[in-house]
Amino acid sequence: MSALHITITAVSRFFFGSTAYRDKQIMKKGITAIAAWLIVLLTWLPHAALANVIAWGENGLGNLGNNSNVDSALPVSVIASGALAGKTITQVSASFSNGACALSSDGMVYCWGLNSSGELGDGTYTPSDVPVAVDQSGALAGKTVTAITSGVASRCALTSDGKVFCWGDNSSGQLGDNNGGVDSNVPRPVTGIVATKTVTSIKCGGLFCLALTDEGLVYSWGENGSGQLGNADGTNTDLDVSTGVDATGALSGKAVVAIAAASETGYALTSDGLVFSWGESDAGQLGNNTMSPDALAPVAVFTGGLLNGKTVSKIAASGDSGYALTSDNGLYAWGEAGLGQLGNNSAVDSSVPVAVDVSGVLAGKTIAAVVGGGSTAYALTTDGLIASWGGGASGQLGDGTFAASAGAPVLVSLAAVLSGRVVSALGASTASAFAVLAAAPLPAAVPTLSSFAQIILVMLMAFVFALRMSKRT
């Protein structure tokens, strides 16, 4: 018999005065169920008014979306009123320097921060310290956005039909709209070959963007001064229309399943668990055992060392560093390390993957996700903790300090903002970080809710029960 059935039976029988022993036993179970429902309700109601996005770090340009310009070394809530009222955020994408955007469960996009290039996408060039709605009445009319990504001052959105739209700074053609040099304060469709494809994932670096299609191929547009478009054109020419990342060399015969973008470097994870990179290499961010030259086409990340025999399951990138999470819960990094962004207690750049130190706050933890900011990286564990390492001068480590850097992971302080919720997603910019919060799973002993109607029903029956009790006394 279900908890709800027991509740209905118990209250109903008691209301009509049944005194059978069995009915009393059912009644006791019903009272327990009612109490459980009410506890759930009282726990759930406050969450309805709480922001489900938190942020910390640099805030001089309204980066944190909390109606302030004061940096914060501890997580604070992004304003949940106004544009975000009643919205459930599922993803946050932060720019390399000047703000962030959030995607809601109903496919709408909201942005905040600087707006000098139209990066808020709301049809204005007015900055905002709180979230504003991206204009979805034009190119995005009738579309449902499923993913977002950010460059320095440009943003892009992927829709459910596999198309890409971008807005903001277009100085290097990073909007991909065949109108390079002309910024846009509203979303515009990406043109070129990617417009004929079904895109499944998008990632923007500094001034360029990548798109992964359902064919396992990667396309790019924007700045190409370091070869970050990966199209092997030999000229390093910026492109304001999409082009294909070279798939005839190292990626020949490979199916790409995930992409990542650093400031001027691109990364691809293939179905066989290998990582490939292209673009800038001055700090070893290609991970191919050399500091130079730049790669105009994909090269393999070195697997002769710590990655030997490993299967990479996820990849990420920060400003000039790359990250790989392996199927056996190993975490590795390569590239720039001046502020400890490799997490190995060293400030020495590395052109091959090194192990992130997991002997401290990450000891015994299973890592669910990794994201990179400009000089800081973050790991989310399956039990809801966030670890950070690298630069911290603006408070982006989130540990309550403004330490210049952390060479090994430290814990982000979450106790004051969780309120019974858990972290479900991360985002990071040059010196700010964001986390999406979701309701914590209910304990097994508490009956799960199938609909809001059941909450109302139980409340009404609890009232009737209390009324009946008052008449009997």
Splitting the chain (473 residues) into consecutive groups of 10 residues, what average pLDDT does each group show?
48 47 52 50 45 93 95 96 96 88 98 97 97 97 98 97 98 98 98 98 98 98 98 96 98 98 98 98 97 96 96 97 98 98 98 98 98 96 97 98 98 94 95 94 51 55 56 55
In a domain, 18, yes or no: yes
In a domain, 404, yes or no: no
CA distance 398 to 421: 18
The pLDDT of residue 15: 43
Q: For the whole model, what pTM was predicted?
A: 0.85
Q: What angle do CA 140, 201, 434 make, to 5 degrees?
A: 85
CA distance 44 to 236: 54
The pLDDT of residue 106: 97
The pLDDT of residue 95: 84
In a domain, 10, yes or no: yes
CA distance 361 to 348: 22
For residue 135, which phi and psi values (nearest 5 degrees)?
-65, 110
The residue with tokens 């009946």 is 468
Partners of residue 156 on adjacent β-strands:
149, 166
Question: What total number of domains does the chain contain?
Answer: 1
The pLDDT of residue 311: 98
For residue 241, which phi and psi values (nearest 5 degrees)?
-130, 155
In a domain, 21, yes or no: yes
Cα R_g (the chain), whole angstroms: 25
Structure tokens at 436: 């999406």
Partners of residue 423 on adjacent β-strands:
437
The boundaries of the domain holding residue 16 are 1-49+453-473
CA distance 203 to 404: 28
In a domain, 243, yes or no: no
C-alpha torsion sign, points 95, 145, 85, 82: positive
